[in-house]
Amino acid sequence: MNYKEISSDYEKASKTDSFKVHNDFLNILLQDHSESGMELHYAYFNESDNSDLKRILGKGFLKRGKNGVSFLLRKLSNEPDNLIKSNIIHLIGLSHDKKYLSNIIPFLKNEDYEVRYKAIIVCGWLGDTDTIDILKEHYPFEKVSLLRGFTVSAMRQIFFRHKETKDKIVEFIYTKLPEETDYKALAIMIVVLQDLTRTKYGLKEDSYSGEVSGDITKAKCKILKRIDL
């Protein structure tokens, strides 16, 4: 492998938003299946500040198959940089392979916001019925209100694949909603409840941005009245 040429190709790819140029550069990296080849791939992925190129390089690890994910798992265990660690968790989640869930769950307790955020989201992507209980246990210990909301949102992701989890999630929301005071967390909890019960409480969730609009206080009152609290 000619590292001078690769470096030159990387510089070119970094200066453009062309998908073809980015993909061609990735394919050059994918030709090297060795550990050193994956290390080089990893270095360029972390170094790049071109968001489009970074995304393609990241997903490129999944094109390496099991070897690529195994490499990421090794990095996850000893990567000191929390932002990079969160990116690795995200990539592992994109594999949509449940067998990696056990590697992600411990990061729910990480001190870093971004790491916990990605771990919560990936639990939603990869989790099953048992993961609902893990997320329920995490909820009261999560100090960041928005992440408490995302914890409930992750349960919804699991529901989409496992409809049998509906009652467990709805019961959990009914239990936690009366004591939740943060509007961001409440907004997410309520729109999740609306989805699962097909009952409208006056909130709307933008399907693209995820932003919630509507009167949260009024919606909460409607729910409390419904459950006689």
User: Taking 90 as the threshold, does the pLDDT of residue 208 lie above it?
Assistant: no
Residue 1: band (very low, low, confident or very high) from pLDDT cuts 50, 70, 90: low
3-state SS, residue 215: coil
Q: pLDDT value at position 228? A: 75
Tell me what the mean pLDDT of segment 111-140 comes to: 97
Q: pLDDT value at position 229? A: 54
DSSP string covering 118-151: HHHHHHHHH--HHHHHHHHHHGGG--SHHHHHHH
Q: Are the beta carbons of 153 and 124 closer than 8 angstroms?
A: yes
User: Taking 90 as the threshold, does the pLDDT of residue 227 lie above it?
Assistant: no
Residue 207: band (very low, low, confident or very high) from pLDDT cuts 50, 70, 90: confident
Residue of 169, 147, 174 whose CA lies nearest to 158 = 169
